[in-house]
Structure formats: structure tokens, C-alpha cells
């Protein structure tokens, strides 16, 4: 992607997603000026990343921008009394029907539950689940297993997610009884 294409792509992203990202950031930060700043930093980080990695193909710009925004909010830190969610909590978000209603303390309790569930997984699923939980992307996880085909590592990640879901579902059902 050359500079003109990159600028056009970023401009398109800004026009298409600014309001959506700002609303989401405002919901977490509770301040419109902070939300605007977080969205500006999000687009700046996106631009820098794409400039450094021109070969990068963004299949889902919306999901990618939300991941960047979560990273920006994570850098800001927890908001007192807020419902801040770290990027590594993506596994948790799959299990929660309404994550925005959770307090920081509730998220910490859920974090303990998820760590126990990951510990129950057999190898190699446990390793890839820990790496994913720590916020590594799938390509970064693949790089940790030299000599293993990427498709195999992706399969481990998918199976770890499926098994983790089953363990957490069982745990949540036991907790309701």
C-alpha cells in the first residue's frame, strides 16, 4: 500500500467509524473530550501500524479498530468505578451477555475463573490459550511455535477456545444452582 492509498484508506476509516468508536469510548470513559482523544490516538496508532506494515490486509476494519481502541483504553488504565475491560479479556467477553454492566471488581472475579479454566485445558491448548489471554494475536502465537504449521496452531487456538467455552459454561451453570 503506497502513501496515497494509505491516506485514502485511513480517511475512509475515519469517516466511517469515528462516531461509533467515540460512542463506545464515551461509554467507558464517561467524558466526551477523553473519548475524542482516545479515538484520535486509535486512528494515529492504526495509521502508524499500517505505515510500518504496508503488506497488512485488514479483513474487518471495524473489529480491528475496536481492538486498537481497547488497547488505547488499556493504556489509559482502569477508570475508578468504571467498567473498564482489558484487551486480554476477549475470552471473557464471549461468555458475558452484557459486559458493559460489569464492574471492575466483577471482572477481576471473572478473571480468576477464566485463569482456573485455562489451567484445566490439556496441552497444547493450555499454552495457546494463555498466550491469547495475555493479548497476543494469532500471528504472534504462531511465531512462538517455529516448525509447526500455522494451520495447526490456528486449529489449537480454535479448539482451545471451544474447550474453554465448555469449561466456562459448565462453571457458570454450576454457579447458578
Residue-range definition of the domain harbouring residue 123: 84-177
5 and 47 both lie in a single domain = yes
Do 51 and 127 lie in one domain? The reply is: no
Element (H, E) at 141: helix 138-143
Which of 50, 77, 104 is at the close of a domain? 77
Q: What is the CATH number of the domain that holds 169?
A: 1.10.10
- If asked whether residues 33 and 112 sit together in one domain, one would say no
Asked whether residue 159 falls in the same domain as residue 102, the answer is yes
Q: Please report the pLDDT score of residue 134 as a whole number.
A: 67
Q: Same structural domain for residues 67 and 28?
A: yes
What CATH number is associated with residue 39?
Answer: 1.10.1740.10
* Domain final position from 12, 45, 77: 77
Give the whole-angstrom CA distance, residue 79 versus residue 56: 33
pLDDT by residue for the chain (177 residues), tens digit each? 677 888 888 899 899 999 988 888 888 777 788 888 888 888 888 888 888 877 777 778 888 888 888 878 766 654 444 444 444 444 445 445 455 555 666 666 767 777 778 888 888 888 888 777 666 677 777 778 878 888 888 888 888 888 888 887 787 777 655
98 in the same domain as 69: no
The Cα–Cα gap between 155 and 160 comes to: 8
Longest dimension (CA), the chain: 59
pLDDT for the residue 175 = 64
Amino acid at each position: 500500500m503506497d502513501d496515497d492509498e494509505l491516506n485514502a484508506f485511513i480517511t475512509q476509516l475515519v469517516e466511517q467509524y469515528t462516531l461509533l468508536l467515540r460512542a463506545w469510548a464515551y461509554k467507558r470513559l464517561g467524558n466526551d473530550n477523553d473519548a475524542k482523544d482516545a479515538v484520535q490516538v486509535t486512528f494515529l496508532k492504526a495509521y502508524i501500524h499500517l505505515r510500518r506494515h504496508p503488506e497488512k490486509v485488514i479483513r474487518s476494519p471495524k473489529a480491528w479498530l475496536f481492538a486498537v481502541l481497547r488497547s488505547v483504553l488499556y493504556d489509559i488504565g482502569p477508570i475508578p468505578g468504571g467498567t473498564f475491560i482489558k484487551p486480554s479479556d476477549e475470552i471473557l467477553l464471549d461468555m458475558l451477555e452484557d459486559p458493559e454492566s460489569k464492574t471492575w471488581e466483577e471482572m477481576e472475579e471473572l478473571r480468576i475463573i477464566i485463569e482456573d479454566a485455562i489451567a484445566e485445558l490439556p496441552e497444547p491448548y493450555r499454552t495457546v490459550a494463555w498466550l491469547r489471554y495475555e493479548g497476543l494475536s494469532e500471528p504472534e502465537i504462531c511465531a512462538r511455535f517455529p516448525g509447526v504449521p500455522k494451520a495447526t496452531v490456528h486449529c489449537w487456538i480454535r479448539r482451545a477456545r471451544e474447550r474453554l467455552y465448555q469449561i466456562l459454561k459448565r462453571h457458570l451453570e454450576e454457579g447458578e444452582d
